[in-house]
A and B are shown apart, each in its own frame.
Chain A
Amino acid sequence: MTDPIDRAGIILCLISLATLILIPAVGSNYLVDVTTEILIYSLFALSLNVIIGYSGNVSFGHAAYFAIGGYTNAILLTTYAWPLVASLLASITVTMFITGIVAYFCTRLTDIYFAMLTLAFSMLVWAIAFKWRSVTGGDDGFVGITIPEILDQRINFYYFTVLVVVFSTWILWLICHSAFARSLLAVRENPTRAGFVGINTRLMRWWAFVVAGTFAGLAGALFAMLHRGMYVESAFWTQSATVLIMTLLGGMFSFFGPAIGAATLFLLERITNEYTEYWPTVLGLILIVILLFLPDGLVGLVTKIRNYWTREH
């Protein structure tokens, strides 16, 4: 998981980047919108994987930080008319600060107790967003977010999202391939032994939580700008479940797995909804297939096929 990227990986990354740059040239607004949303969800899923894949804890409340970032950006841009850079930086800082406080309590617990506490905190965020109507718009949502004129153009906003998501992914890559990540993996595999060799396991998990929450906040900030609105549903537990499924689908033991899962699940939902109203049933089936047959997700499946192919030839 912490292996450096190989040559084929670098080529794949460059092809992906070139594809992202060329997408607006196709001339389809729909394609641009879909790709923008996929990029945002990819960042959201990649951030969650720092907690799940690297520190080995399951969070049922990751949507809270997505919503905090989104609402902060919405309020600062629209209510206080802050410039974009200041608003984005403030959104990241606010999310980081709140995540730090939540992480302080959550990392005192492990396993199911950790998961339940993350859920409890996320529902608290949801309740605040719901009740604080004068600031968040409550159930009506915070609609009509003002964004700089230059980003009001679809293509410009797309390239802005590509820039932010690619840069954030690079930062996450560096974090996930650092000594810190190796310590986290040690904590994930055997916390007792990691403690014996001098790793402050709780501090490591706290940092992982903060990193994950911060990048989720950034994804939320982009989401709010894309939709020119932020809604309480984005903080609800179902949103946390969706990003968790994205991570599992792509593969939590791979750095890019969650991004692949996000793209796959997003596209599957769009396509399914065009033909049938039974998306929840399809989602349930996907979850069953992952849990029973694809514990390492789509990336794990590809690896298995590649290994099989290599052995046969």
Chain B
Amino acid sequence: MRHRLLVSLVIAGTLLAINNLHAEEIKIGMLYPITGGGAIYGSPAQIGHRMGVEEINLDGGLLGLQAISVERDTKLNPATAAAAAKEMITKDGVHVLIGGLSSSVGLAVSEVARQEKVIYIATIAKTIQMTTNKRHNYVFRTASHTDFEGDAMAQIAEKLNAKSICDIQLDYAYGHDLAAGIEKGLARHLPDTKIVLSLRPKLRATDYNVFITQIMGAGCDVVTGGLWGPHFVDFAKQATPFGLFQQIKFIAGGEIGSHEIASTMGRDYPDNVWANSYELWYHHPNEEHKKFHSKLSAQLGTHETTMWPVLAVIGVRMYAAAVKQAGSLDPDLVAEALRGMSIDTPVGPRTIDPTTHQTDTGQFWGPMVKKEGAPYRVMDPITYIPALLSE
């Protein structure tokens, strides 16, 4: 009788354990703006995030558990993002936070991750602070940062043999940090070249006429700018009639070489622009990119695809690789695994620096040219500038 009871208890316990194992899931938290002004970047990133989670499950899950995506809209507001991050941790029990578009949202989510001791992987936010003075045990970044971008812009300026530079940056965190990154880059690559004019139009500015005339009168041969998204579109439309792009070469950071900007501007995209992008649908740096592009293209229903999904996929893959290596969901063990973690991605291999927690994410750079058969201006030739602060 006692023996039968013991066997029954063992069976019941095993069934309960199996049941619990099936009930438990790995919850991958996603934080992107999916409404409002940031949605044009956040919604494609959301697609990428889901693709990353799907990849994990197709691969048999993590530690034998299925992954699910828990998603929140940050509305591009740091206070909203911080509250959402806390809610995802305390209510939904997410194991990791991935995402964050703007620098302020990235820093706010990072602060929550620090308090709650949960891993946060920043996939888009570029502020240098996240991996320098605001770095902590649980924050990692797979995006590039302003020092890398500034250094790449200085390298292009060196190629273009720039003698004097006009710098135009938006008057907020990213603009200020990128300006500092360019200065550091110039000190490395073109120490004799001077920035003769620094301009700071305000964020969401639409009228650039006063800045355009200042640039044209300053006598610079190269302009460096971090006017991302609609800022560059407005600037270019207003500067073209003045002949600015015929007289001065423009090195544009802020992913102005991406599909989003090139397709939006179409015929209005100016000459003499050297721009960057994290990913280009028409450029396959490896075999995996072809497959990734086909899959994304099928999901979006267009042959031309945006670059934001790949950033989100990289964030999810990095976490999955770390969990596999750690063999645990414990944030401290996963953080340990993330330090120095290397993975393959559709845009090449990526490694996290064990000290700074920053991934060596470089970008594709090149002049934007008209090309036979291309629907809009494309980058050609394409150069991958790695994330190295070379001397």
Write the nearest CB–CB distance from B97 to chain A, whole angstroms.
15
| Given contacts A130-B172, A133-B176, A144-B111, A277 and B83 within 8 Å (CB-CB) | no
Cα-based distance from A233 to B83 in the complex (angstroms): 14
Does B104 count as interface, using CB distance less than 8 angstroms? yes
What 0/1 readout, one digit per residue, does chain A (274-298) give for beta carbons within 8 Å of chain B? 0001111000000000000000000
Name which residue of chain B comes closest to A234, CB basis. B79
Closest A residue to B81 by beta carbon equals: A231
Q: Which of A136-152 contact B (CB under 8 A)?
A: 138-141, 143-144
Say whether A227 contacts B82, CB under 8 Å.
Answer: yes
Evaluate contact between B111 and A228: CB separation under 8 angstroms: yes
> Which residues of A260-281 have CB atoms within 8 Å of chain B's CB atoms?
270, 273, 277-280
- Whether, in the assembled complex, A29 has its beta carbon less than 8 Å from a beta carbon of chain B, the answer is yes
> Nearest Cβ distance between residue A228 and chain B, in whole angstroms?
5
On chain A, the residues within 8 Å of B78 by CB distance are: 141, 229, 231, 233
Most buried by B among A29, A133, A140, A232: A140
Q: Is B20 an interface residue (CB 8 A)?
A: no
List residues of B (26-41) whose CB comes within 8 Å of A's CBs: 34-35
- Across the interface, A143 reaches (CB within 8 A) one of B87, B91, B111, B172, namely B111
Q: Is B151 interfacial (CB-CB < 8 Å)?
A: no
Chain A residues, CB < 8 A from B72: 273
CB contact under 8 A between A139 and B87, given known A231-B78, A233-B77, A234-B79: no
Q: Taking the complex as formed, is B350 at the interface, i.e. its CB lies under 8 A from any CB of chain A?
A: no
The main secondary structure of chain B at its interface with chain A is helix
Give chain A residues whose Cβ lies under 8 Å from the Cβ of B90.
28-30, 33
Q: Are B107 and A143 in contact, CB atoms less than 8 angstroms apart?
A: yes
Which residue of chain A has the shortest Cβ distance to B107 in the bound complex? A143
Minimum distance in angstroms from A270 CB to a CB of chain B: 7
A138 adjacent to B115 (CB under 8 Å): no
A1-37: CB near B (< 8 Å → 1, else 0) gives: 0000000000000000000000000001110011001
Q: Which residues of A contact B172 (CB under 8 A)?
A: 130, 138-139
In the bound complex, CA of A234 to CA of B104 (Å): 13
Q: For the complex, is B47 an interface residue (Cβ under 8 Å from A)?
A: no
Q: Does B134 contact A (CB under 8 A)?
A: yes
Distance A140 CA – B171 CA, assembled complex (angstroms): 12
B73 near A277: Cβ-Cβ < 8 Å: yes
Number of interface residues of A (CB under 8 A): 28
Q: Which B79-117 residues have C-beta < 8 A from chain A?
A: 79-80, 82-84, 86-87, 90-91, 102-104, 107-108, 110-111, 114-115
Q: In the complex the two chains form, is B35's CB within 8 Å of A139's CB?
A: no
Chain A CB within 8 A of B173 CB: yes
Given known A143-B134, A280-B35, contact A270–B108 (CB-CB < 8 A): no
List A contacts of B218 (CB < 8 A).
Answer: none
Q: Which of A28, A131, A143, A277 has a CB less than 8 Å from the CB of B108? A: A143
Chain B residue nearest to A34 in the complex (CB): B87
- Interface residues as binary, B153-189 with A (CB distance below 8 Å gives 1, 0 otherwise): 0000000000000000001111010000000000000
CA distance A28 to B103 in the complex (A): 31
Contact residue among A30, A139, A227, A232 (Cβ-Cβ distance under 8 Å from B103): A139
Q: A141-B78, A143-B107, A273-B72 are in contact. Are A33 and B129 (CB under 8 A)?
A: no
Residues of B within 8 A of A270 (CB): 87
Q: Please give, as numbers and ranges, the residues of chain A lying within 8 Å of B359 by CB-CB distance.
A: none
Residues of A within 8 A of B115 (CB): 228
For window 47-83 of chain B, which residues contact chain A by CB distance below 8 Å? Answer: 72-73, 77-80, 82-83
The verdict on B361 contacting chain A, using a C-beta distance below 8 Å, is: no
CB-contacts of A13-63 with B (<8 A) = 28-30, 33-34, 37
Q: Is the CB of A229 within 8 A of B108?
A: yes
How distant is the Cα of A232 from the Cα of B87 in the complex, in angstroms? 22
Does B343 interact with chain A (Cβ within 8 Å)? no
Q: How far is the CA of A23 from the CA of B203 in the complex (A)?
A: 43
In the assembly, what is the distance between CA of A28 and CA of B90, in Å? 8
User: Does B127 sit within 8 A of A, measured CB to CB?
Assistant: yes
CB-based nearest B residue for A273: B73
In the assembled complex, the Cα of A49 lies from the Cα of B373 at a distance in Å of 64
Minimal Cβ-Cβ distance residue in A for B115: A228
| Interface contact B107-A33, CB-CB below 8 Å | no
- Do A277 and B87 have beta carbons less than 8 Å apart? no
Contact between B79 and A233 (Cβ–Cβ < 8 Å)?
yes
- Give Cα A138–Cα B171 distance, bound, in whole angstroms: 10
CB of B126 to closest CB in A, whole Å:
11
B86: chain A residues within 8 A (beta carbon): 33
| B91 lies within 8 A of A138 (CB) | no
- Report Cα–Cα, A235/B231, bound state, in Å: 24
Cβ-closest chain A residue relative to B91: A30
Contact status of A141 and B87, CB under 8 A, knowing A229-B111, A280-B35: no
Contact A140 B34 (CB under 8 A): no
Chain A 207-246: CB-based contact to B (< 8 A → 1; otherwise 0): 0000000000000000000011101111000000000000
CA distance A139 to B175 in the complex (A): 11
User: In whole angstroms, how far apart are the Cα atoms of A280 and B103 in the complex?
Assistant: 24
Chain A residues with CB below 8 A from B87, complex form: 30, 33-34, 270
- B129 touches which one: A140, A228, A278 (CB < 8 A)? A140
Q: Are A231 and B111 neighbours in the complex by a CB distance under 8 Å?
A: no
Residue in contact with A133 in the complex, picked from B79, B114, B173, CB distance below 8 Å? B173
- Give bound CA distance, A139 to B104, whole Å: 6
Residues from chain A with Cβ under 8 Å of B203 in the complex: 139
Please indicate the chain B residues that have their CB under 8 angstroms from the CB of A33 in the complex.
86-87, 90
Q: Which residue on B lies nearest to A281, using beta carbons?
A: B35
B contact set with A: CB distance below 8 Å: 34-35, 72-73, 77-80, 82-84, 86-87, 90-91, 102-104, 107-108, 110-111, 114-115, 127, 129, 134, 171-174, 176, 203
Extra pairs beyond A138-B172, A277-B34, A280-B35 (4, CB < 8 Å): A140-B104, A141-B104, A233-B78, A279-B35
25 sampled A-B residue pairs with Cβ under 8 A: A30-B91, A33-B87, A34-B87, A138-B173, A139-B102, A139-B104, A139-B203, A141-B104, A141-B107, A143-B108, A143-B111, A227-B79, A227-B111, A228-B111, A229-B82, A229-B108, A229-B111, A231-B108, A233-B77, A233-B78, A233-B79, A270-B87, A273-B73, A277-B34, A277-B73
Instruction: Enumerate the 4 nearest inter-chain pairs by beta-carbon distance, A residue then B residue, closest first.
Output: A30-B90, A30-B91, A139-B172, A29-B90
